[in-house]
Structure 1
Amino acid sequence: MYVRYFSRLLSAMAGPRPVVLSGPSGAGKSTLLKKLMKEYDGVFGFSVSHTTRNPRPGEENGRDYHYVTRDVMQAGIDNGDFIESAVFSGNMYGTSKAAVQDVQAKNLICILDIEMQGVRNIKRTDLNPIYISIQPPSMAVLEKRLRDRKTESEENLMKRLHAAKAAIEFSKEPGQFDVLIVNDNLEDAYGQLKNALLEEINKVKKVNTSS
């Protein structure tokens, strides 16, 4: 019930369409997002997700994720504070209502970086985002990228690769994504991402210039 109520609330807000960005860990979503937000400063707002996993080196609480305990996260889900939540590699992830509202209230394009389960949950609302999937050129390239990070145990790496295979298959299902970008060459992938979002970018810039 809360999802239906909240999705109606979002639809009533005259903000730009949100963007759901999904794809396997190691596909390059974070790099593409950083480039996008640097070039279009004051156009995008990042919906900061909650997670029960530990921060990686260089990550900051409140900027990359809201790092919380399992008990706190579960209590928020039970209380209806989240639009979507999912369990991935043994950790919980979720997007809170407040995170999206904070971004939309500033007339910014809200970016939701979420996993496959989260995409399925968003599909059940009428949030009406632009769905974009970022893919690696191959599983072999993805495995090399993940190994080069040196942040995962072998067990976690295998879990991520298994999840990546499922996510890639999911992205190929008709109607799941509006845009599918294979990140083989970073500049080419970034060009495709910008092109997919140009209409919304121009709307936000026009409103912000006239206000």
Structure 2
Amino acid sequence: MPKRGMLIVLSGPSGVGKGTVRKAMFDQGGTDFQYSISMTTRHPRAGEVNGKDYFFVSKATFEHNIETGGMLEYAQYVDNYYGTPMKYVQETLAAGKDVFLEIEVNGAMQVREKMPDGVFIFLTPPDLMALKQRLIGRGTETMAVIDERIHQAVTEIKMMRNYDYAVVNDKIPLAVSRIREIIRAERLRVPRVYPEYAQMLESSELQPGNSEDKKGL
């Protein structure tokens, strides 16, 4: 059986730059984990591609997945659903591959309840004004929606204490570097490494009673 993969969860308040940081990580190369594409009912933004940036589905389709247990996590923001399909994540981890999730805070907490052994990283803005300027810079939402998102961000930032790590997204290359360091360290944690050695020791011919020195005695 292959070694089970590691689940890496990156989340933070809306507009903090999760997608930008995630894309920069994968564009750099050298990653050996799979990106799990989220599902959403919102309309695609300019340049977004279905099946690459998100799975864009109808509200009825999304709610059917919720009812049938097909979502690892989901949340609703500004009258739209966002979530992670369960099947892909479970199958990929079981095959021994790491999975990288980029999701909102409420969804991350649902994942934590179901998969507490994941690595949970909170991406935070330098301050709330920087977050507001990023949202304004998108040019995709009204000021009323932006103000609503900032209000929600205050609540979400308070949830940082439920994560394993916090990374400030002051500069994208620095944020990417910090996340890569976290992942490298997590791969070396004893609870993740020891099962391999335990299996090796159990099957080793060097166990007492199997020594070549005892032949002929």
TM-score, length-scaled by structure 1: 0.81
Residue aligning to 1:193: 179
1:62: which partner in 2? 51
SS of equivalent residue, structure 1 residue 119: helix
Structure 2 spans left out of the alignment, 5+ residues: 190-217
Letter of the structure 1 residue corresponding to residue 179 of structure 2: L
Partner of 2:37: 48
1:84: Cα distance to partner?
A: 1.1
Please tell me whether the aligned partners of residues 47 and 103 of structure 1 are also in contact (alpha carbons under 8 angstroms): no
1:85–1:118 contact (8 Å) kept in structure 2:
yes
Q: Following the alignment from structure 1 to structure 2, what is the Cα–Cα distance between the partners of residues 105 and 125? A: 15
Deviation at 1:140, TM superposition (A): 0.3
Alignment match of 1:136 (pick from 125, 131, 135): 125
- Residues 61-102 of structure 1, C-alpha deviations (whole Å, 9 max, x = no match): 111111111111001110111111111122111111123135
Percent identity (aligned): 32
Match of 2:114, SS state, is: coil
Partner SS, residue 142 of structure 1: helix
**Greater C-alpha Rg:** 2
Equivalent position SS for 2:74: strand
The Cα shift of 1:16 comes to 2.1
Pick which of 36-45 and 26-35 moved more. Answer: 36-45
Asked if residue 153 in structure 1 is aligned to residue 142 in structure 2, the reply is: yes
Task: Summarize the alignment of residues 50-199 of structure 1 with structure 2, pairs less than 5 Å apart.
Answer: 50-101=39-90, 103-104=92-93, 107-126=96-115, 128-171=117-160, 173=161, 176-199=162-185
Q: CA, structure 1 residues 163+15, in 2 after alignment: closer, same or farther (shift >3 Å)?
A: same
Alignment of 1:19-30 (within 5 A): 19-30=8-19
Decide whether the 8 Å contact of 1:18 with 1:111 is kept in 2.
yes
Residues 147-169 of structure 1: CA deviation (Å, up to 9, x unaligned): 01101122221222122111111
2:176 and 2:125 map into 1 onto residues whose CA distance is 13
User: Where does the alignment leave 5 or more consecutive residues of structure 1 unmatched?
Assistant: 1-11, 204-211
C-alpha displacement at 1:202, in angstroms?
Answer: 8.3
Distance between the aligned counterparts of 1:99 and 1:60, measured in 2? 19
What is the alpha-carbon distance in structure 1 between the residues aligned to residue 170 and residue 31 of structure 2? 28
Matched residues in 2 for 1:65 and 1:202: separation? Answer: 31
Aligned residue among 4, 20, 27 for 1:31: 20
1:138 is displaced (CA, Å) by 0.5
The 2-side partners of 1:102 and 1:63 are apart by 19
Amino acid at match of 2:173: E
**1:13 Cα offset (Å):** 7.1
* Alpha-carbon spacing, 1:29–1:201, altered in 2? closer, same or farther (3 Å): farther
- Give distance in 2, aligned partners of 1:30 and 1:202: 27
Residue aligned with 1:143, SS = helix
- Residue identity matched to 2:68: N
CA RMSD, aligned part only?
Answer: 2.2
**Of 119-128 and 129-138, the range deviating more from structure 2:** 119-128
